[in-house]
Chains A and B, each alone.
Chain A
Amino acid sequence: MDRLLHPADSDAGDQPISLSRRGLLGGSIGALTLAVGLRPVAAVAQAAATPLAAASAPAGPPFNPFTALLQIRSDSTAFLQVPVIEGGQGIFTGLAQVCGEELDLDPAHFVVQCAEPGPGIAALGTRLSTGGSSSMWRNFMPMRRMGATSRAMLMQAAAVRFEVPVDSLSTSDGKVIHAASGRHADYGDLAGEAAELPVPVDVPLRSADSFRWIGKSVPRIDMQDKSTGKVVYSIDLTIDGMLQAAVQHASRLGMQPVRLLNEAAVRQMPGVHSVHLLSGCVAVVADRWWRAHRAVQSLRAEWKEATGDTPRPMPADFSTEQLRQDMLAAPGPGFLAEAAGDAAAAMGRAAKTLEAVYDAPFLAHAQLEPPSAIASWDAARGRLELWMSNQASLLFRDAAAKFAGIAPENVTLHSPMVGGFFGRYFFYDESNPYLQAIALAKAVGRPVKVIWSREEEFLRDALRPAVLVRFKAGLDAQGMPLALESESVSDGLYARMYGAAYDKFDPTVVEGIAKKVYAIPNRRIAHVMHRYPPMIGAWRSVGHSFNDFFMESFTDEMADAGGIDPFELRRRMVARSPRHATLLEAVGDLSGGWRRGPFTAEDGSRRARGVAMASPFGTEMATIAEVSIAEGQVKVHHVWVAVDPGRAINPAIIEAQMNSAVALGLSSALFEEVVYERGMPRARNYDGYPILTPDRMPEVHVRIVESGAPMTGVGEPGVPGVPPAVINAVAALTGQRVRRLPLARASLGGSV
């Protein structure tokens, strides 16, 4: 998964940061004059690639935080630019906590925004992308150093002003104080002077025992605005002189519009400015979006089939049902991803073997904010400004520059707050409206906002890959797993997203099956490459989202075959890993002690529980779900989650993320499936693609275990344990092993 975070890494440039429209998003900047310090490419700090490296990475070369990313406004609030987007995961609050801790400014006084590509972020030594649940661990030390450096400069400025030694000064929530004289100055008052000072190096950081905000359930900084509709998402933005556009995509990717059959009539519709043929779609530009939408829906075009040079056209006869048949038949052995011992030999001497085939469908992100993009094209200066939801602004900026025929530094890309993402906004070129916005802005000579209707979004989302896995296990005479073989049949996400060669296994296709903590001495884990047409992308917890379902369900099958309770089997298989053993006991304890059931609950319903463990992105998870069945439908009553992210920055946010992950994981287990027939997705809105409704939300109980391991993320890891915990509980309750998601496909009979 780490590769997802490795776009062309350097975002250093030699142009000043564009502040032209920052006021639009961040509010006024205040008193600071922004003379930007530039930094040569060579001086850019190397971004840490792992949580461990990030925790111990040395400070990069000094840079002036005031001129780059952290501005102190005249009212002593801080305007902080960070290299990640906020889409509900609480990272803006978390980074304000971390920076504020060192700056000595209450996180509540921060305004946080995603940075634009430019030298500031490069100097920080981190990455301008959001993913892999890495936003906190990547930015923890850089944000602290920036806060501490800023505080030192503010103190130095006060020392100059007060004409006292700097070590006679202290700070307290936005003020520098000279205790001896009783004098003090607000940060906002000192910021202008501080910004002119030389940048100190190796400013010491606070000791952990003096933290006021780090580790505490600090309230999120965007709650009031998000509860009153004041947050401005990409879809809400308006630019002076802007027109709005709607598109009608080709029904299948690769098809191109040839000509319009009723252009004159559509031009006459109210508000219509112009009608366009674009690559892969037709578009209407109008004064308002609804008018553009009505018009483009009425537009009739003649389409031609994809030409030979189209990378991956969608065939007219593609269906997911046929794909599944093909994947079932896809021959092994595939690319070896992990091997230990001698699986084949061990299988031969096993006391018992079992086999099973699991599969998981394509999934849509189904975030509530439909994609949109605004492009403003300055033809005279050859400059482009973009506003768009995205998780990888460097890649989008560079692609936008290429498309517009200008240098990347002539593109200013803003990344507004996103209305949910879950992996939706990585660099999937055909799944984002930004190129359409650029083409239209150039064509009409005015800024254009493109909004995809929900139906167009369901047609062009980059889906979670469909994956099928063939398992075989060998048990010893005591019922303990001796050998495990797996063949995962899927396309390669790296190949699709980054153009990786198809000549080896894809880590995302096996993550969760490979590198599993369980002590199974003989393993052969492989990836059978099977290419397919639908666009695929990262979906919250990526490969773990399906592989932990496969692996943890099959673990229960191994337990049953060996006559060992599934909780007990896991206990034995993690016995040599204290971190996992502790976590498993924690979730058992949280649920009131492990009981598989079936048992009769207080309300008279028959219930059972299932357990699952997962290690997504270095965070350790243990999950228990309790289910009953009524009228053939699974009801999940409780989900208990024990999460070990090494260390917790904001426990309340972690708990919220676990609730969120349970909802998404459960939604995927119960309902979700993108079905293609005749080359098109059957569902084009939430009516045909149901997502979890309030009445199906279980109670969620969370315990955070801080093992002290290097800090890892919390945004995605809660998801993958949920489907297998639920499926294992259903198996315990009904004796029926569901190996194909979603559960809505399974016939579970009546009340058990």
Chain B
Amino acid sequence: MEITVNGAVRIVDAEPDTPLLWVLRDNLGLTGTKYGCGLAQCGACTVLVQGLPVRSCVTPVESVAGLPVTTIETVEQDDVGRRIVEAWVAHQVPQCGYCQSGQVMAATALLKQVAAPSDSDIAAAMTNLCRCGTYNAIAAAIRNVAQG
């Protein structure tokens, strides 16, 4: 099966219903995308498909064939992604860090679509779980980027 990840076409040996998450992690070695729940509950596995945030643990790899997939590994190559990462560092957002790949991807997707999101836009888009409770820092970092 052929999939397009971070701009490159990759041929992967996987059953068509394999979650994209595990193709990224085990077939392609892109372990920045995390497994948290496998049930679309936590969002640690968030990647971008056609620029929109997708929880890769519930995305059969077959369903993204031919669609561009972007993972945390190349997020800084995108201007918005780079600014999000800078804001994450400036606001010292991560604690254990495990959920942050997904948080950064969700925030990047939001700001690519809505340059100046309102607080309710942020609340609607940022639904990933963080057991360390970095939610306030996440919101502050996004507001910071949104305000340029």
Q: Are A694 and B139 in contact (CB under 8 A)?
A: yes
B30-48 contact mask (Cβ, 8 Å, vs A): 1 or 0: 0111111111011010000
Q: Does any Cβ of A come within 8 Å of B29's Cβ? A: yes
Please name all residues of chain B whose beta carbon is closer than 8 Å to the beta carbon of A418 when the two chains form the complex. Answer: 96
Q: Are A663 and B133 in contact (CB under 8 A)?
A: yes
Please name all residues of chain B whose beta carbon is closer than 8 Å to the beta carbon of A288 when the two chains form the complex. Answer: 22, 26-27
Please name all residues of chain A whose beta carbon is closer than 8 Å to the beta carbon of B19 when the two chains form the complex. Answer: 290
- Number of A positions contacting B (CB below 8 A): 61
Q: Are B26 and A229 in contact (CB under 8 A)?
A: no
Q: Are A659 and B134 in contact (CB under 8 A)?
A: yes
Q: Are A454 and B37 in contact (CB under 8 A)?
A: yes
- Number of B positions contacting A (CB below 8 A): 55
Please name all residues of chain B whose beta carbon is closer than 8 Å to the beta carbon of A685 when the two chains form the complex. Answer: 37-39, 41
Q: Are B72 and A419 in contact (CB under 8 A)?
A: no
Given A369-B34, A694-B123, CB of A686 within 8 Å of CB of B42? yes
Given A244-B26, A659-B133, A664-B133, CB of A370 within 8 Å of CB of B35? yes
A662 to B136, CA, bound (A): 11
Closest A residue to B81 by beta carbon equals A228
A690 to B13, CA, bound (A): 35
A659 to B92, CA, bound (A): 12
Please name all residues of chain B whose beta carbon is closer than 8 Å to the beta carbon of A662 when the two chains form the complex. Answer: 133
A330 to B102, CA, bound (A): 47
Given A229-B32, A288-B22, A695-B123, CB of A422 within 8 Å of CB of B92? no
Please name all residues of chain B whose beta carbon is closer than 8 Å to the beta carbon of A366 when the two chains form the complex. Answer: 131
Q: Does any Cβ of B come within 8 Å of A453's Cβ? A: yes
Q: Does any Cβ of A come within 8 Å of B145's Cβ? A: no
A687 to B58, CA, bound (A): 14
Please name all residues of chain B whose beta carbon is closer than 8 Å to the beta carbon of A451 when the two chains form the complex. Answer: 35
The chain A residues found within 8 Å of chain B, CB to CB, are 87-90, 219-220, 222-233, 235-236, 238, 244, 270, 288-291, 366-370, 417-422, 451, 453-454, 652, 656, 659-664, 667, 685-687, 691-695, 697, 699-700
Closest B residue to A661 by beta carbon equals B133
A244 to B35, CA, bound (A): 15
Please name all residues of chain B whose beta carbon is closer than 8 Å to the beta carbon of A687 when the two chains form the complex. Answer: 39, 41
Q: Are B127 and A693 in contact (CB under 8 A)?
A: yes
Q: Are A422 and B131 in contact (CB under 8 A)?
A: yes
Cβ contact of B22, chosen from A226, A289, A692, cutoff 8 A: A289
Q: B9 CB to closest chain A CB, in angstroms?
A: 21
Q: A594 CB to closest chain B CB, in angstroms?
A: 24
Q: Does any Cβ of A come within 8 Å of B109's Cβ? A: no
Please name all residues of chain B whose beta carbon is closer than 8 Å to the beta carbon of A88 when the two chains form the complex. Answer: 94-97, 132
Closest A residue to B82 by beta carbon equals A228
A694 to B126, CA, bound (A): 7
The chain B residues found within 8 Å of chain A, CB to CB, are 14-15, 18-19, 22, 25-27, 29, 31-39, 41-42, 44, 71-73, 75-76, 85, 88-89, 92-101, 104, 123, 126-139
A290 to B57, CA, bound (A): 11
Q: Are A692 and B98 in contact (CB under 8 A)?
A: no
Q: Are B89 and A454 in contact (CB under 8 A)?
A: no
Q: B50 CB to closest chain A CB, in angstroms?
A: 20
Q: Are A227 and B29 in contact (CB under 8 A)?
A: no
Please name all residues of chain A whose beta carbon is closer than 8 Å to the beta carbon of B128 when the two chains form the complex. Answer: 694
A296 to B122, CA, bound (A): 39
Q: A297 CB to closest chain B CB, in angstroms?
A: 11
Q: A238-B29, A699-B136 are in contact. List 10 more A-B contacts (CB 8 A).
A: A227-B89, A227-B94, A229-B72, A229-B73, A288-B22, A366-B131, A419-B96, A656-B92, A656-B95, A692-B129
Q: A716 CB to closest chain B CB, in angstroms?
A: 13
A235 to B32, CA, bound (A): 11
Q: Are B138 and A694 in contact (CB under 8 A)?
A: yes
A87 to B132, CA, bound (A): 10
Closest A residue to B33 by beta carbon equals A229
Please name all residues of chain B whose beta carbon is closer than 8 Å to the beta carbon of A228 when the two chains form the complex. Answer: 32, 72-73, 75-76, 85, 101, 104
Q: Are B129 and A368 in contact (CB under 8 A)?
A: yes
A88 to B136, CA, bound (A): 16
Q: B126 CB to closest chain A CB, in angstroms?
A: 6
Closest B residue to A665 by beta carbon equals B133
Cβ contact of A697, chosen from B32, B35, B93, B136, cutoff 8 A: B136
